[in-house]
Amino acid sequence: MDKKKRTGKEKKLKRKEINMEGPYGIEWHEEEKVKGREMVEENALYIFVRLNQQGNDQEVGTIISKEKNIQTLWKGTGAPVVAFVQYRFVMEEELPVLYVYEIQLEDTIQGKGLGKFLMQLLELIARKNNMMAVVLTVKKRNEGAMRFYLNKLSYKISSTSPSKVDPLEYADCTYEILCKVFDAQALLIFENPLSG
């Protein structure tokens, strides 16, 4: 792997460590290895958001001064990366879906509508590519993310999520599979009211 790719991967992993160690708890160290492999898979697609330094200089200066330590983790050529999304086009339950593997935002950018915008962009990408749903996995202990997807973006807990498949068998499961469907067939598979 060349230096530029390695540096970018290291920066993304550091951002994940900062954002994900809390929600994953003791599972993070094992999950971190899986996430590292996922990031370099051939079919992984990314959207990167860089800080707009052409805007209000006072606002940009405030963000940079508050986040000097994090900014250096993300800085490469150009403005610092403040958010990224990793997604893939995959088959789930024999249906084509856009699966969101990661969405990470710097702390100073959270709560300003960027996460919602990125998810709406992914929904548009999914529709334009004839995907039947957007699917993602969220840790149950990440209550802020659960509220964000379920309340703000109207995602549903999928009928394929362990808590819906067999609540007793998977009572200790630490995650939920969420979805937003765009097709009647996907609705039957991912939001089937009879399955949960």
pLDDT, averaged across the chain: 79
Structurally, the chain folds into a number of domains equal to 1
**Highest mean pLDDT pick, 20-24, 74-78, 104-108:** 104-108
Model confidence pLDDT, tens digit, residues 41-96: 789 999 999 887 665 544 444 344 344 444 434 445 678 889 999 999 999 999 99
CA angle 176, 180, 50 (to 5 degrees): 90
Report the 10 Å Cβ neighbour count for 21: 15
- What is the pLDDT, as a whole number, of residue 63? 42
Q: Which long-range contacts (CB under 8 A, 24 or more apart) does 145-148 make?
A: 145/23, 146/176, 148/115, 148/116
CB-based burial label for 43 (10 Å; 0-12, 13-18, 19+): exposed
Domain of residue 89, residue span:
3-195
Find the CATH number of the domain harbouring 155. Answer: 3.40.630.30
Residue 42, CA atoms < 13 Å, CB-side half-sphere: 0
- Predicted confidence band of residue 156 (pLDDT cuts 50, 70, 90): very high
Residue 52 to residue 50: CA distance in whole angstroms: 6
Share of the chain above pLDDT 70, in %: 65
Selection from 39, 50, 36 nearest residue 83 by Cα: 50
Is the full-model pTM beyond 0.75?
A: no
